[in-house]
Chain A
Amino acid sequence: MAYPTAFRYTKEHEWVKIDGNRARIGITDHAQAELGDVVFVELPTVGADVKQGGLLGTVESVKAVSDVYAPLSGKVIEANRNLEQSPETVNQSPHDAGWIAVIQLSNPAEAGSLLDAAAYEALIA
């Protein structure tokens, strides 16, 4: 799967799609492949404040639990409730329907510290 150039990435394998001062977040294709079949997603609480690098939620497979970290600071304004019924969406469509949360950014300048698609692909090579 190609890594969308419009996204930014973290070393912890989250992707971010920034739109003004909102950001949609999920885990990358690499992360879902490493995890295996996703059986449960622990979503963040809507309304919660998160700091860059702080714990946003978790993604569980049968044999492992992976922490999802907030790539940027802000307030959680949406969480993908579809994942409660269909956690496998994270495997099937990690960069699209498998999104996890939307954050209202408190410090958009933090985006400068994120990786672009090329840098992320180099990281996982």
Chain B
Amino acid sequence: MRTIFERGAPEAADGVFPACDVPEQGAAACLGADLVRTSPPRIPNTTETTVVRHYTRLSKLNYGVDDGIYPLGSCTMKYNPKVNEDAAALPGFANVHPGADERYAQGSLELLYELTQLLQGIAGLPAVTLQPVAGAHGELTGMFLFRKYFESRGETKRTRILLPDSAHGTNPASAAQAGFSVTEIPSNARGTVDLGALRAELDDTVAGIMLTVPNTLGIFEENILEVTRAVREAGGLCYFDGANLNSFIGRARPGDMGADVFHFNLHKTLSTPHGGGGPGAGAVAVSERLVPFLPVPRVAKRGDRYQLDWDAPQSIGSVHSFFGNVLVAIKAYAYVQQLGDEGLRAVSENAVLNANYLQERLKRTYALPYDRLCKHEFVLSSEGLAEGVTTLDVAKRLIDYGVHPPTVYFPLIVHEAVMIEPTETESRESLDRFAEILERIAAEAREHPELLHEAPTRAPVRRLDQTAAARTPVFKFPFDAE
């Protein structure tokens, strides 16, 4: 498919903007000649019809949750309700400038405040900030909170963060970006944190631990209370990565498990759309001792008025321009309001049932490194499927069957990993169909492996040369080439 740069017309239609209704002086007169742009950007002029056809055609080369099952482990690609989209698009919400005086933005402020209250309830923690705009951003915020907390106590030796070897890459990256060093704790044979290894690391240089609960294998840390107790007794703090909240929402609260910081991924658990890579929202809940350090401004309620509170002398400062991704928060708010407690409980029940149902069926055909009760996701391996057939081959062949592949090659502690998370919004029929396809592919792997090696053959493009892309990078349209 051509890019928009190849669809230009020199004389393009106009008509979006009106004529200038004030006397024109000209750019040079307003700015001085040397500030005026000399060469125009090579953005094509074209017609609305061309633009609409171009992007409509491009959209058909994509695959969204609206197209079918999206079983990506740890991504919680559940159905995105349409009412959420319309709520966020209400002009009263969309057309408000963040600098507007608080008294003219009471609707947004009330919603933000009420959402923080709801998230506090879901987390079982006393305070929430909506300022972080992604999970990793929430992690970074949490790491900043750790830093400020220990700084306030003069405990400057605490420079290490512990995390399990199954941790998502953003965890160590966030810790490092906040100025910590990281120490990996090995997982035991059951796939959970090795308590002995953890205790051996706990000393006065440890700031805390970063855990994903349940972990990235989809397994709940049965020793979670011992883990958090041990860390707290050693003077450290506990960070819980909430990417997998879909597995216990409505049934358990991280605050009751010993979490000091917990981040939500509104674009996972709370159904806001993924958008091809964002925008998300990474609300962060904290325990009492971290409240003074929360980013500013906070959203507060005084009487029946909502306001922005800047009075926090020990705050870490700000991590985003204003109050977070407000329009994304609106979608999450609408979702929680519809579901209520009953609906939230049904989410985790059905998510976990769907995952265990699939795991039970698929373990007959694929290797299951940790054969035990899983939560909302589980990890298979394609090792042993057939000689010379890899997880990559299986993933690409799934595309030929019109299904988005699961997460592959993560977590790193499983070879040829396939991480599957169906979510609660898939029907039994959809799950059965997915399992059938994976079983067929396993059979093909034995009988006709070339079908996997050549896959995909039914996608808009076939396997792309990643090596060439990395060795001779082309990151923008080559206007100057022939």
A and B touch in the complex (CB under 8 A): yes
Instruction: State the A residues within 8 Å of B (CB).
Output: 36-37, 39-40, 60, 62-63, 87-88
The chain A residue with its CB closest to the CB of B467 is A37
Query: Which residues of chain A have C-beta atoms less than 8 A from B469's C-beta?
Result: 62
Q: Can you list 14 residue pairs at the A/B interface with Cβ under 8 Å?
A: A36-B467, A37-B466, A37-B467, A37-B471, A39-B467, A39-B470, A40-B470, A40-B471, A60-B470, A62-B466, A62-B467, A62-B470, A63-B466, A87-B471
Query: Which residues of chain A have C-beta atoms less than 8 A from B409's C-beta?
Result: 63
The chain B residue with its CB closest to the CB of A62 is B466
Query: Which residues of chain A have C-beta atoms less than 8 A from B471's C-beta?
Result: 37, 39-40, 87-88
SS of A interface (majority): loop
Q: How far is the CB of A80 from chain B (nearest CB, A)?
A: 16
Q: Could you tell me the distance between the alpha carbons of A88 and B409 in the complex, rounded to whole angstroms?
A: 24
Query: Which residues of chain A have C-beta atoms less than 8 A from B470's C-beta?
Result: 39-40, 60, 62
Q: How far is the CB of B470 from chain A (nearest CB, A)?
A: 4
Q: Could you tell me the distance between the alpha carbons of A88 and B471 in the complex, rounded to whole angstroms?
A: 9
Interface size in chain B (residues, C-beta < 8 A): 6
Number of A-B contacts (CB under 8 A): 18
Beyond A37-B467, A39-B471, A60-B470, list 9 extra A-B contacts (CB 8 Å).
Answer: A36-B467, A37-B466, A39-B470, A40-B471, A62-B466, A62-B467, A62-B469, A63-B409, A63-B466
Q: Could you tell me the distance between the alpha carbons of A39 and B473 in the complex, rounded to whole angstroms?
A: 10
Query: Which residues of chain B have C-beta atoms less than 8 A from A36's C-beta?
Result: 467
Q: Could you tell me the distance between the alpha carbons of A63 and B466 in the complex, rounded to whole angstroms?
A: 9
Against A, the Cβ 8 Å flags (1 = close, 0 = not) of B440-482 are 0000000000000000000000000011011100000000000
Query: Which residues of chain B have C-beta atoms less than 8 A from A37's C-beta?
Result: 466-467, 471
The chain B residue with its CB closest to the CB of A87 is B471
In the complex, chain B residues 127-150 whose Cβ is within 8 Å of any chain A Cβ: none
The chain A residue with its CB closest to the CB of B466 is A62
Q: How far is the CB of A87 from chain B (nearest CB, A)?
A: 7
Against A, the Cβ 8 Å flags (1 = close, 0 = not) of B391-422 are 00000000000000000010000000000000
Q: How far is the CB of A27 from chain B (nearest CB, A)?
A: 17
In order of increasing CB-CB distance, the 8 nearest A-B pairs are A39-B470, A37-B467, A62-B466, A39-B471, A62-B470, A62-B467, A39-B467, A87-B471
Q: How far is the CB of B408 from chain A (nearest CB, A)?
A: 11
The chain A residue with its CB closest to the CB of B409 is A63
Query: Which residues of chain B have C-beta atoms less than 8 A from A62's C-beta?
Result: 466-467, 469-470
Q: How far is the CB of A98 from chain B (nearest CB, A)?
A: 15
Query: Which residues of chain A have C-beta atoms less than 8 A from B466's C-beta?
Result: 37, 62-63
Query: Which residues of chain B have C-beta atoms less than 8 A from A87's C-beta?
Result: 471
Q: Could you tell me the distance between the alpha carbons of A39 and B471 in the complex, rounded to whole angstroms?
A: 5
Q: Could you tell me the distance between the alpha carbons of A105 and B62 in the complex, rounded to whole angstroms?
A: 56
Query: Which residues of chain A have C-beta atoms less than 8 A from B467's C-beta?
Result: 36-37, 39, 62
Query: Which residues of chain B have C-beta atoms less than 8 A from A39's C-beta?
Result: 467, 470-471
Q: Could you tell me the distance between the alpha carbons of A16 and B471 in the complex, rounded to whole angstroms?
A: 27
Q: How far is the CB of A33 from chain B (nearest CB, A)?
A: 14
Q: Could you tell me the distance between the alpha carbons of A10 and B476 in the complex, rounded to whole angstroms?
A: 42
Q: Could you tell me the distance between the alpha carbons of A63 and B408 in the complex, rounded to whole angstroms?
A: 12
Q: Could you tell me the distance between the alpha carbons of A36 and B466 in the complex, rounded to whole angstroms?
A: 11
Q: Could you tell me the distance between the alpha carbons of A41 and B290 in the complex, rounded to whole angstroms?
A: 43
Query: Which residues of chain B have C-beta atoms less than 8 A from A88's C-beta?
Result: 471
The chain A residue with its CB closest to the CB of B469 is A62
Query: Which residues of chain B have C-beta atoms less than 8 A from A40's C-beta?
Result: 470-471
